[in-house]
Every structure is written in C-alpha cells, then in structure tokens.
C-alpha cells in the first residue's frame, strides 16, 4: 500500500514505500504492485485498484498495516475499509498478510487491529508489543495450510531460514510474562482509559488552525503541523525535535507530523507534560 513501511530487509523495503530511506538500495529491490492509501472519501480508488490487481490472477498476497500506517506518517483508515480490503482478497484467493508489528498488542484499542474489522489474516506479523516493548522478539503466524506448505519430512525441503537469536529464551520469557499480564491484569480497561485520556488531549488541537488532520486510533494520536514543505524531510521536523528535547520529552516527529504513541504505563501527568511540549514546540517553529 502506498506510504506503507514493513522494515529494512530487501523484501520489506521492496514491498514498502520507496523514498529517501530506500534510495541507496534501489538496484536491489524488486517490483511490487501498489494500491493507493484509502484516504477519507477516496476509498473506492483503493478498492478498485486492489480488485483489478487481484483479478489479474497472479497476485501472491496483499500486505498491509491494518488501521494505521506507522512510519509512513501515522495515516489512519477505518475498520470498514480494512474489512473490504480483506473481502476482495478472499474473493480472489489472494493471501492477506497483516503487518501488526506496530498495531498489535492493544495499540489500536483492541488486542489486534484486525479484530475491529473481524478479519482473520492468512499471515500475521507481530513484534514490538509482544514483549511489552522490552526485548526484541517477533513472531509470524500463518494458517495451517501455509505452514504445511513449508513443512516437509524431506530434510532438503526444511524451512532453513532463521537467525542467531531466533526464539531467544530471555526474549520469549519476556513475551510469556507479557501474555501473563494480558491474561491476569485489566489491560484492556487500561488501554481504554488511555484511549480516552488521549482523546481529551486532542480536543485543544482540533480547534487550532496551525494543525491539520488531528486524528486518533486507540492509544495513538497524530496531527500535522501545517508546513510549506510537508513530509518526512520537512524542516519543521528538526525544530520540533529540538523543542521536545528541551522540554525533556522524547517525541520523534515524522517531519511535520507529530504523534504520541505512549507506553501503557504512561500517567495522566506524563501526558499533560507531553501535550504541553507539543503546544510549546508548535508555538516556536
């Protein structure tokens, strides 16, 4: 999908948005077909493009960040759109891959973003929140028939690819501890409380003419500071960052897009400081 980000390997850079991040690797990257981002009011262009590509009959899979495109600018779309994208893939027998690396584990208000669209992906990628963000671990889940297609008793057909730290025991222990918290503590209630707090903080920015596209999905908020040069390389980015650092707040704007993606242990007071810093930094630039 246009503006998507899936990582920094050759495969994920190939599938993600091309730009200043991927330029150095361009000769190594392979071509993929893309659909436009489903911007509000323009969703049908995305559906039509996906339908056309799926109908050609040679699409292996559709890879998408459900509900929120992270590094591409915290771009948000609705569960209804996600459900329709999935419906088109199912209709044409195209695998649906949900990259929930950023959206998984409560970020969007539900444990997984796909739940809001009642979508069960064929392949799902989880990471960051799997260990509560504490240790590096990722998992890729797939339907049984996909697993079986990669499974063989013939050892020459083993699925060989992994790395030194695959299933690292300490990282797995952290993930199990996190799962235990999800099962035994009121995590969903905390996430809903954080979602409500985040919504309260956005109100003042919605009426502020310096900001555009003030938005929220679950625990994530984002807004664009109006700029002559919008985008990741906007000169507002470094100025904002300087302002945040001086306010002792760790926020990393994506160019002129400011987003707040707090850890779930964030307090009401912490968030007050964060949004004060945003207002102050915006006043300075």
Ligand X SMILES: Cc1ncc(COP(=O)(O)O)c(C=O)c1O
Q: Supply the minimum distance, in Å, between the C-beta of residue 5 and ligand X.
A: 6
How many residues bind ligand X (CB under 6 A)? The answer is 11
Q: Which of 66, 70, 121, 132 binds ligand X (CB under 6 A)?
A: 70
CB contact at 8 A, 106 and 220: no
> Which residue's CB is nearer to ligand X, number 142 or number 280?
142
Structure tokens, 272 = 């007050």
**Does residue 84 interact with ligand X by CB under 6 A?**
no
**Does residue 65 interact with ligand X by CB under 6 A?**
yes
Q: Supply the minimum distance, in Å, between the C-beta of residue 232 and ligand X.
A: 14
Q: Which of 127, 178, 217, 256 binds ligand X (CB under 6 A)?
A: 127
What's the rounded Cα separation, in Å, for the pair 136 and 133?
7
Instruction: Please report, as residue ranges, which positions from 136 to 155 form the binding site for ligand X (by CB under 6 A).
Output: 138
What's the rounded Cα separation, in Å, for the pair 40 and 276?
29
CB contact at 8 A, 178 and 131: yes
**Does residue 133 interact with ligand X by CB under 6 A?**
no
Q: Supply the minimum distance, in Å, between the C-beta of residue 51 and ligand X.
A: 24
CB contact at 8 A, 240 and 249: no
CA angle 206, 211, 217 (to 5 degrees): 60
DSSP string, 260-283: E---TT--HHHHHHHHHHHHHHHH
Instruction: Please report, as residue ranges, which positions from 6 to 25 form the binding site for ligand X (by CB under 6 A).
Output: 6-7
Q: Which of 99, 105, 243, 275 binds ligand X (CB under 6 A)?
A: 99
**Does residue 114 interact with ligand X by CB under 6 A?**
no
Give the distance from CA 113 to its chain's centroid: 9
Tokens 């980015």 belong to 237
- Binding residues (CB under 6 A) for ligand X: these are 5-7, 65, 70-71, 99, 101-102, 127, 138
């Amino acid at each position: 999908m246009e503006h998507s980000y899936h990582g920094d390997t050759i495969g994920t850079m190939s599938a993600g948005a091309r730009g200043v991040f991927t330029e150095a690797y361009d000769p190594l990257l392979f071509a993929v077909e893309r659909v436009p981002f489903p911007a509000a009011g323009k969703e049908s262009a995305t559906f039509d493009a996906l339908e056309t590509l799926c109908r050609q009959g040679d699409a292996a899979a559709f890879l998408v960040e459900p509900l929120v495109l992270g590094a591409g600018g915290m771009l948000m779309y609705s569960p209804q759109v996600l459900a329709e994208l999935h419906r088109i893939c199912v209709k044409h027998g195209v695998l649906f891959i949900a990259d929930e690396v950023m959206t998984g584990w409560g970020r969007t208000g539900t444990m997984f973003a796909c739940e809001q669209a009642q979508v069960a992906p064929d392949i799902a990628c989880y990471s960051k929140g799997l260990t509560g963000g504490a240790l590096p671990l990722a998992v890729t889940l797939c339907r049984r028939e996909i697993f079986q297609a990669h499974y063989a008793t013939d050892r020459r057909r083993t699925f060989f690819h992994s790395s030194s730290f695959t299933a690292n025991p300490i990282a797995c222990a952290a993930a199990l501890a996190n799962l235990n918290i999800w099962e035994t503590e009121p995590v969903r209630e905390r996430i809903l409380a954080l979602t409500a707090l985040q919504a309260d903080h956005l109100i003042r920015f919605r009426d502020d003419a310096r900001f555009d596209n003030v938005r929220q999905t679950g625990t994530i908020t984002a807004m664009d500071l109006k700029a002559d040069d919008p985008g990741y390389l906007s000169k507002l980015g470094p100025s904002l960052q300087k302002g945040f650092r001086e306010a002792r707040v760790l926020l990393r704007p994506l160019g002129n897009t400011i987003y707040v993606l707090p850890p779930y242990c964030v307090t009401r007071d912490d968030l007050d400081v964060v949004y004060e810093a945003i207002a102050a930094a915006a006043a300075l630039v």
